Amino acid sequence: MEKFAIEGGVPLSGTITPAGNKNGALPILAACLLTTDEVILRNVPRISDVEAMVQLLRTLGARVEWLGPREVLIDTSTVESAEVDRQLAERIRASFLLAGPLLARFGTAQMPPPGGDVIGRRRLDPHLDAFRALGAVVDHKLDDIVLTAPPLGLSPCDFLMDEPSVMATENALMAAALTRGPTVIRNAASEPHVQDLARMLVAMGAAIDGIGSNVMTVHGTASLRGCTHSIAPDHIEIGSFMALAGVTGGELVVKDTVPADLRMIRLVFERLGLRSEVHGADIIVPGNQELVIRNDAGDHMPKVEDGPWPAFPADLTSIALALATQSAGSVIIHEKMFENRLFFTDKLVMMGAAITICDPHRAIVVGPRPLRGGRVESPDIRAGMAMLIAALCADGVTEIGNIRQIDRGYERIDERLRDLGARITRLEDAPVSA
């Protein structure tokens, strides 16, 4: 086990380039199973979740070679097994993204329960409903889910998802891309990483109408080809860096972004008092900002709430909450999607934040409050980053344990923050004796 030791109170300033989108890299890696040709992926984040997906592909028989720091070659022509490794699957929820490609290519997939963050119930039903709509039989075998296509393969269909699940949309896209004929996916997720996957599938030979909307039509084909694809920058990481600069008072330039993906993030952060500017493909966060929460008309308390794209991303609610602790005023943080996401806030309260939990989905934050260093544990990726944000503006030294959670979503975060002036050290976390 490792931990971070952070000395707070230092403005983070400079220039940083975001890594490739974690939530884009994982389905894109899975999509390589849809072809027997080689695929080259660029701007792949070197994070533990990606390494776990690479290992899953290897256990299925794929050849995966890192050609450079963020460039990887995948050859799945040697894959014969459609049974996903149980121990590796338990490490990441994205292991279930292998279901769609395996089912479409091999006509079967045996999927153990996926792992991932414990932030609330995360249904598999939308995935299974999509597979059933395509003609697959879903069988629960002990803890595993076994998917079987009809003898003649999957059939194109027109179906409505009961919720705009990101991963279920991605599974449906991948399965439909290798199913000959037009498949219509309604109430689909349209997040930037879903769009990125769709663009890759188009490069592989599928035709997809409606990319970026909630109705997509996939004109599938019997075979797909290899391609070279560069993964888009991670808008969640960019939002995290913007908040880090805001609470520490530094001036930050985030290079090579997709500004269109950041419009709602910038709008919500401005409501919390954090201004940013767009210069071409770069985002600039001016330094020494006075963070003041902007009330709604009539001087009513404002609300930050997440939702399906293009609403504010759920993965940034923890980050927005940490930013709000340093903004003057009060705000309601409404996490609609996951009932356990806000439970980490007791750790920020221990550091001095003024946060009242109204119910599992809502918290009221009153700021600004001076924070002090302490000893905390990271329960999930985004809560870990929220605590890192708090630590960087706190008085004294903060130790964050269980940082493997942060490493799952942020590439070499300690090294990159040191380049911006942060006083952060990665240490071995000695076990507590009985």
Q: Global pTM?
A: 0.94
Whether 209 sits among the annotated catalytic residues: the reply is no
Looking at residue 323, what is its pLDDT? Answer: 98
Predicted confidence (pLDDT) at residue 122 exceeds the cutoff of 90: no
- Which pLDDT band holds residue 137 (cuts at 50, 70, 90)? very high
pLDDT tens track for 357-399: 999 999 999 999 999 999 999 988 999 999 999 999 999 999 9
| Residue reference for tokens 């188009």 | 202
- If phi > 0 it is left, if psi is from -120 to 50 it is alpha, else beta; for residue 179 that is beta
CB 369 within 8 A of CB 328: no
- Which pLDDT band holds residue 143 (cuts at 50, 70, 90)? confident
- If phi > 0 it is left, if psi is from -120 to 50 it is alpha, else beta; for residue 120 that is left
pLDDT tens track for 187-225: 999 999 999 999 999 999 999 999 999 999 999 999 999
Tell me the average pLDDT across 120-125.
70
DSSP code per residue over 164-200: --HHHHHHHHHHHHTSSEEEEEES----HHHHHHHHH
| Residue reference for tokens 């709000």 | 324
Backbone angles phi, psi at 68, to 5 degrees: -165, -175
Looking at residue 84, what is its pLDDT? Answer: 94
CB 174 within 8 A of CB 34: yes
Q: What percent of the chain has pLDDT over 70?
A: 97
Looking at residue 116, what is its pLDDT? Answer: 53
pLDDT tens track for 27-62: 999 999 999 999 999 999 999 999 999 999 999 999
Helix (H, G, I), strand (E, B) or coil at 226: coil
Looking at residue 341, what is its pLDDT? Answer: 85
Looking at residue 431, what is its pLDDT? Answer: 57
State how far the alpha carbon of 38 is from the alpha carbons of 53, 246, 272, 364, in Å.
17, 43, 46, 50
Torsion of CA 256, 260, 262, 264, to 10 degrees: 170
Tell me the average pLDDT across 412-416.
96
**What is the spatial distance between Cα 72 and Cα 58, in angstroms, rounded to a whole number?**
13
Predicted confidence (pLDDT) at residue 432 exceeds the cutoff of 50: no
- Which pLDDT band holds residue 434 (cuts at 50, 70, 90)? very low
Q: What percent of the chain has pLDDT over 90?
A: 89
- Which pLDDT band holds residue 113 (cuts at 50, 70, 90)? confident
pLDDT tens track for 293-345: 999 999 999 999 999 999 999 999 999 999 999 999 999 999 988 778 898 99
Which residue among 37, 49, 75, 117 is the active-site one?
A: 117
Q: What is the mean pLDDT of the chain?
A: 94
Looking at residue 430, what is its pLDDT? Answer: 67
Looking at residue 118, what is its pLDDT? Answer: 45
DSSP code per residue over 355-413: EEEEETTEEEEEE----B--EEE--SHHHHHHHHHHHHHSBSEEEEE-THHHHTTSTTH
**What is the spatial distance between Cα 340 and Cα 90, in angstroms, rounded to a whole number?**
19
Question: Hey, what are 268's tokens?
Answer: 């919500």
- Which pLDDT band holds residue 115 (cuts at 50, 70, 90)? confident
- Which pLDDT band holds residue 119 (cuts at 50, 70, 90)? very low
